């Protein structure tokens, strides 16, 4: 397989790799390739910081205590005894 074909195979695994969804065999292969290929590494880095930016954009704390009190009150009105 040529270097170009190898790069193409590796970038096909870009999203599954970054999502931690690759089988072990592919995980090892991608890591080994990235160790040696700066061009592919730059693609993966760009995608990784993009995913981090998505996560930052939605980083809102979810305080569920008021919601829990509201749900329990609704359940008690439905007949459930207080937990």
Q: How big is the chain, counted in residues?
A: 83
Alpha-helix residue ranges (DSSP H) falling in the chain: 3-11, 14-18, 24-36, 38-57, 65-78
- Please identify, using beta-carbon distances, which residue of 25 and 81 lies nearer to other proteins: 81
- Please identify, using beta-carbon distances, which residue of 31 and 80 lies nearer to other proteins: 80
Q: Which residues bind other proteins (CB under 8 A)?
A: 4, 7-8, 11-16, 19-21, 39, 42-43, 46-47, 49-58, 62, 64, 67-68, 70-72, 74-75, 78-81, 83
Least distance in angstroms from the C-beta of 25 to other proteins: 18
Contact of 11 with 22, CB cutoff 8 Å:
no
């Amino acid at each position: 397989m040529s270097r170009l074909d190898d790069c193409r195979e590796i970038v096909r695994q870009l999203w599954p790799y970054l999502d931690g969804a690759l089988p072990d065999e592919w995980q090892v292969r991608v890591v080994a390739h990235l160790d040696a290929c700066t061009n592919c590494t730059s693609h993966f880095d760009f995608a990784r910081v993009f995913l981090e930016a998505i996560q930052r954009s939605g980083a809102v704390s979810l305080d569920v205590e008021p919601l829990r009190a509201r749900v329990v009150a609704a359940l008690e009105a439905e007949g459930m005894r207080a937990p």
